[in-house]
Structure formats: structure tokens, C-alpha cells
Homo-oligomer: A and B are copies of this chain.
Amino acid sequence: MNSDVVTRLTRSMADHGYDAIVALSPENFAYLAGFVVPSQSLMRWRHAACVVTAQGECAILAVDMEETTVRTRAGETPVRIWGEFTDNAMQALAGLLSDLGLSAAKIGFERDYLAAGDFAALTRALPKAGFVAAERYLADLRQIKTADEIALMSRLARLADQAIAGALAGVSPGGSEMDIAGGLTRGVFALGADYFKLMIVATGERSVFPNVGPSARVLKDGDICRVEIFPVIGGYHAGVCRTARVGPAPDHAETVWRNLVECKYLVLDMIKPGASSRAIYEAFLGHLARLGLPPISFVGHGIGLGLHEEPYLGKYSDVPLEAGMVLGIEPLVYDTGYGFGMQNKDIVLVTETGCRLLSDVTDTDELVVVS
């Protein structure tokens, strides 16, 4: 179990009206248990559940195919196994909850994750229990990272940054997007990632497309290259994006880049406990507007077990930032209108007094150069 998270839960769950929390999504399972069940997110029916009661009692439910992995990782937490082809996962979960004395309890669950059919089966099996939405409660807790989470996010941010730097340093004009991708994927695994999500390698005229993987396109002088990756360790992600020029920068590129760098420092200067998330977005908007270019609807967002988490630094919400939040911030212009796009995505920790850049390997004050 993740003992810091269990402590947080047991401290606050009763105040929120829960006798227990059952986490069923891959993200919240990992949040409570402190580890990932490998196939849970690949095969939705392979349910895993992590239960924590208001008294701090913990238990784990997992599918037989993952028994060895789960027992190894669970330590002293009791593990109950259900058979993929022989049992019903919800009946097994109901049995576990019953054995924990929760058959008539108020149980917080993820109403935004548990499928309607499974929810019906669970409530049929535990007719006296009260199932109450807990996704907002868990999302709120997840916004403030624990010390271990901060250390992991810091490692992931530097890992992504370093892998991109290595991949860009390993190519020259005449190399291809595939060469960047090969260096990048090798880099993230070599640096210790379990996996990665979303790899963007977008160069030259392709740099204007938001989400494109590598192609056979050959790099040539005057290209702008956008390269992004989200390495994953233990279910946590950090996304970093860097922009490079091949040889001399194309017209307007230095101007746009300078603005984006100014936006980065503007945002970093404003991030601190108590700062308004919307005010930061609006300041970004105001500065980007000098380019006469359209912004996306946010300049940053929480990140961790989810690719995007609350809070957003955007136009549709306004929350005060708090110490311990980890944010992705991404001044970007997908399509400058000049035939290229640019993006500078970093990972930032809100500290007691301001913020700390976690993706601090590459100096992005000037465009990275591929030569």
C-alpha cells in the first residue's frame, strides 16, 4: 500500500461521509496500492480493487492471471484472487467488502469508472450497502502530491527531458523522424521507464499537427522539430516537449520562440501557493497575443497518474494553487501560419514559496540546434 495515501484517506474519509473507499480504476488502484496491475488497463474486464476503510484496514482484489505480481507487490496487505474464467469479479468484490464488515456501510466508489453493468451486479450483491460517488474526493487528494510522488515526477520529468535531448543530439540533417524516434524510445527505456505514452515527432511542415508520431520524413536545414514524450513509471506520467531547429531557423521562428520563452517565465513567475489558475492563463494569453496567434484553452494542467488532472490553468475554472501540486505547463502554437509549429512543455512543482522546474535538463532559452 501507499502508506502516505492511506494516512490521508483515513484522516479525511469519515469527514466526507465514507466508511470505506474502493478504488477500481487503474489510476486510483495505483494511487492507493502503490503499484500497477499490469493488464488492468489493457483488458478492462480484469478488475482489480483496492479497499481502504476509515479505520485504515486495507485489502486488495485481483484477477488470477496477475496473482504472482500482485502478491509480490502487496506485501502484508491481504489479497483476494478471483478467477478470470470462473468467477464474477463483482461478486468477489462484494464478498471481500462483506468480510471487511462493510455490507451495510457507506462505500465511496468511482462513479465515473465502474461500468453500469458491474455497478448493478455489485449493488445486487450488497443490497444494504450505500455506494456513494468518490471520484471527486480522490481527484482532490491526488492534486497534492506526496513526497514519494514528487520524487517520482521529478525523476520522470528529467528522464523525458534527457531522452529528448539525447535523441535530438543523435540526429543530423539527412537523418529522419524515425531516427529521432529510435533514439527517443531507446532513451526512455534505458533511463528506466516502464513504458511511454504519446510520442510526438513532428518536423518541418508536419510540425503544425498536434498529435503525430514519427514518419520517414528526412530532416533538412530550416526545419522546426517538435518532439514530445510521456514516459511512465508505476502508472505515473510526465510529459515534456522540446522544439529544435535544423541548421538556420526559418523566418519568424526566433520571434515566436522568444515569445514562448517569455510566456514560460511569465507563468513560472506567477506559480505559487494561492495564485489564481485563471489569472495565470490570462497573463499567458495576453503575452501570446502579441504574436497575433490563437491560444489553446489552457496553458497548463495537473499531471501524475492521469495525463491531465485538475487543476487546469485555463479559461473555464479558477482555483488557488497549492504547494505540492505538479503541473504540466505548455506554451505552444501548433500552427504559426509560417509553416511550422512550436511547443515547450515542462513539468513544474508548486513549492511553499513559488515553484520549481522539474524538467530542467535542457536549456530552452534558445531553440535546441540539430546540426
Contacts and interface: CB of A to CB of B under 8 A. Distances in A.
Interface of A: 38-39, 42-45, 69, 85-86, 110-119, 133, 135, 178, 181-182, 185-186, 189-190, 194-195, 197-199, 211, 213-214, 216, 297, 306-308, 312, 314-317
Number of copies: 2
A298 to B, nearest CB: 8
A350 B179 CA distance: 38
A307 B116 CA distance: 23
Contact of A195 (B186, B189, B213): B213
Contact of A116 (B119, B194, B315, B316): B119
Contacts of A198: 42
Contacts of A190: 178, 216
Top 4 A-B pairs ranked by shortest CB distance? A182-B186, A111-B117, A85-B316, A116-B119
Given A42-B307, A116-B118, 17 more contacts: A39-B211, A42-B197, A43-B306, A43-B308, A44-B112, A45-B112, A85-B312, A85-B314, A85-B316, A111-B117, A112-B118, A113-B115, A114-B116, A116-B116, A182-B185, A185-B186, A190-B216
Contact of A85 (B42, B297, B306): B297
User: Could you tell me the dominant secondary structure of chain A's interface residues?
Assistant: loop
Contacts of A197: 42
A339 B82 CA distance: 29
Given A85-B316, A86-B316, A189 B213 contact: yes
Contacts of A306: 43
A39 B185 CA distance: 20
A173 B182 CA distance: 21
Contacts of A43: 306-308
Contacts of A114: 115-116
9 contacts: A43-B308, A45-B112, A110-B115, A111-B115, A112-B115, A181-B189, A182-B182, A182-B186, A189-B213
Nearest to A215: B189
Residue in A110, A117, A118, A312 with the greatest tally of chain B CB atoms within 10 Å: A117
A239 to B, nearest CB: 11
B189 A178 contact: yes
Contacts of A133: 117
Residue in A190, A198, A214, A216 with the greatest tally of chain B CB atoms within 10 Å: A190
Given A115-B113, A115-B116, A317-B85, A186 B194 contact: no
Contacts of A115: 110-116
A130 to B, nearest CB: 14
Nearest to A298: B85
A118 B43 CA distance: 21
A113 B116 CA distance: 7
A51 to B, nearest CB: 18
A195 B69 CA distance: 26
A289 to B, nearest CB: 20
A288 B142 CA distance: 48
Contacts of A39: 211
